[in-house]
A and B are shown apart, each in its own frame.
Chain A
Amino acid sequence: MKRAKVAAALVLWLALAQAATAAGEKYDPYKVPREHVRASVHTIALEPVRLPPSIENGAALRARIESLLTAKLRSGGFTVVPAAEYEQVWRQMSRRLGGVFDALTGVADQAKYDLAREHTARELADRLEIDALLVTMVSVSALPAGIRSSMFEAKYYAAGQMLVFRGEPIRGAPVNLPQKVLGTYLNVRLDNLDGVDLYSVRAPIEWVEIYAGRDHDGRPPSEWLTDPSRVSETVDLTLDDLVAPGSR
């Protein structure tokens, strides 16, 4: 099955490369025909949301994002298995394998990690009949200023909203600047139980730097992701295509 997965991934890559050429610029988050997703995915387990280490009060933010993801997926007719279920089974798997992460470096043993993930999914499928896993991660990377992300044709992007900097609201930075500053992205990927990427998308949430004179100045991490509407809109944006009428 391992070779089958590799072949499947390559086939998808080739098909997508071809489709991308034909389809033009609109980003299509579906990595397999959406009919296949519609036919085969009914119950989705959430993996715990992964956050950058610098985020303060991560537990509350994680809970908020998971709650938003759950509501959005349910609105599309999916049954959702909470991330806590995944977490519990994952911990058992990790214990059976004598730990997945190196105690000193924190680096994952890839073979153990893959095995634990595969069997966690398997156990959730056997027990709760899940069909897919939703992997969600907040990442920090360069965010185009005043232009739309090349990965995602966003209707919403960071430059359009008020930012808080050191407790004071500031205006959005001037648009159409060629520079990039760091920003947070919400990355969402739906994997089937064979680890095949069915749907993936990322959308910008907000800047974590601002322009200061001719330079950039970092916003304090305590101010990151504190605007509920920003997070909520981004969750909607990433899952809109998955839950859209006709997708189910």
Chain B
Amino acid sequence: MRHRLWPRPLALLIALLLPLACAQTQVPPLRRNAFTPDDEDERQLWNQAAELDQALAERDLVYQDPDLQAYLDGVVQQLQPHLGAQGVPVHVAVLRDPFLNASALPNGTLYVHMGLLAAMDNEAQLATVLGHELSHYVGRHALRERRMHENRESVATAIITVLAITAAGFSGSPNVAAELMQLGGKVGENIVANQVSGYSRDLERAADQAGIEAMIAAGYDPREAPTVFVRLQEEAAEENMPEPYFFGSHPKLEERIEAYRELLRTRGTEGGRVEADAYRDAVSRLLLDDAAIDLALGREAHARRTIDRHLAHRPESAGGYFMLGEARRRAHDAAGAEAAYTAAVGYDPTHAGAHRELGLLYRSQGRDGQARLALSHYLTLAPAARDAPLIRAYVDELDPARAAVR
């Protein structure tokens, strides 16, 4: 006799409940006109998303660069019509976070982390990421995810109840049941969970597909799409640690790379725009700010790579050479640091920080005359600097006349 896994009454009950669950998660996508949620659960999601937006802004975690902002808005606007969402309000924000992630809140805020922007090469790759996140928003995936979880909970409750009554043919694990029950969770936890670990596999796949279709329709080269995820995978492997966010999760990354390649195989790769120069222009300043965070965190290899990317695009950037000097100084490479700071003041004689660092470096090496000159330059350029009182004391000590008196 064939073994029956589910007792017949239970199977019937599940068969009755599942369509009900599916029906409740049918959510139409957002369309052209401005949208405000009618349902209470969606309003809650929007309110909590707005609270999260506010909390991130209050903690100074939102990166400010008006030029970059305009550029990101422009890329999103190119994608929107191809997702049937022209005119739907979307806000792109950059998070001051050096790790690799992007996420979409249910209220239309798309967050791209600095680390991800620093790791990408061109606008086509950016469009892949933004297209994916925009698809989550336009498809109202947060709401669908929430309703799915609620339905899973009600289905799970029914199953457990039936099992308890019939106690038939199924071992039943209270622990598994408890975990299932927790899936319902609180709405806020759902939002956070979506940001940290991504949406369900089906919704991620749907966003991948819609996102790549949108970037192709906007004229971008689809061959750049998998490159984003390959890059993320390389970086995660190099770190020899799991990145804290979902993009760093290896099985998901591998799956996603393969899914993109499969999409390209079926969709064709007819080429398109890459826009590498425009992208590098837009993220030029961000690269240095990202490198500064990496240096403060001790991620020196990351910082060096990011600085190199900046300098490859802006070979005469004083800021780039200054940051290179900072990285070398932290690695106790005094000669390398001196060369980089010297290049910085060569390209921009008004770069106060480079004069300061050169002065401190000369002072530590007993090159008093050069130290005094460089530190005096610094004080001229930044007389109200936080450390000006201390630097004045150094300059004073380095004065040969005073040294002779002492």
Contact = CB atoms under 8 A, between A and B. Distances in A.
Interface of A: 1, 3-8, 10-12, 14-15, 18-19, 32-33, 35-37, 39-41, 93, 96-98, 111, 115-116, 118-119, 122-123, 125-127, 129, 192-194, 196, 198
A127 B386 CA distance: 23
A40 B98 CA distance: 18
The 5 closest A-B pairs by CB, nearest first: A126-B364, A4-B292, A96-B393, A8-B296, A7-B96
Give the residue among A5, A8, A111, A193 with the most B Cβ atoms within 10 A: A8
A33 B395 CA distance: 40
B244 A19 contact: yes
B267 interface: no
B361 A39 contact: no
A16 B59 CA distance: 16
A194 B387 CA distance: 15
Contact of A1 (B98, B292, B364): B292
A38 to B, nearest CB: 10
Contacts of B98: 11
A193 B122 CA distance: 34
Given A10-B61, A115-B386, A32 B360 contact: no
A39 B297 CA distance: 12
A41 B332 CA distance: 12
Contact of A97 (B59, B361, B390): B390
A7 B61 CA distance: 7
Given A3-B96, A196-B297, 12 more contacts: A1-B292, A4-B292, A7-B60, A7-B293, A11-B297, A12-B297, A96-B389, A96-B394, A97-B389, A119-B387, A126-B360, A198-B298
B222 to A, nearest CB: 33
Q: How large is the interface on B (under 10, 10 to 19, 20 to 34, 35 or more residues)?
A: 20 to 34
Interface string B207-245: 000000000000000000000000000000001110010
A4 B327 CA distance: 14
A79 to B, nearest CB: 12
Give the residue among B297, B299, B360, B390 with the most A Cβ atoms within 10 A: B297
B226 to A, nearest CB: 27
Given A97-B393, A122-B360, A11 B298 contact: no
Interface in B281-311: 289, 292-293, 295-300
B196 interface: yes
A21 to B, nearest CB: 10
A39 B206 CA distance: 40
B330 interface: yes
Nearest to B63: A7
B182 to A, nearest CB: 13
Given A1-B292, A123-B364, A15 B298 contact: no
5 contacts: A1-B296, A1-B326, A8-B293, A11-B97, A123-B364
A149 B92 CA distance: 44
B299 A15 contact: no
Contacts of B330: 40, 193
Interface in B180-197: 196
Nearest to A38: B298
A136 B386 CA distance: 27
A66 to B, nearest CB: 24
A4 B63 CA distance: 11
Nearest to A126: B364
Contacts of B279: none
Interface string B22-45: 000000000000000000000000
A4 B60 contact: no
Contacts of A10: 59-61, 96
Contacts of B61: 7, 10
Contact of B297 (A8, A18, A41, A129): A8
Contacts of B364: 123, 126-127
A1 B297 CA distance: 12
Nearest to B115: A11
Interface string B297-339: 1111000000000000000000000000010001010100000
A111 B386 contact: yes
B99 interface: yes
A97 B293 CA distance: 29
A156 B295 CA distance: 37
Nearest to A40: B298
Contact of B390 (A8, A36, A119): A119
Interface in B359-406: 360-361, 364, 386-387, 389-390, 393-394
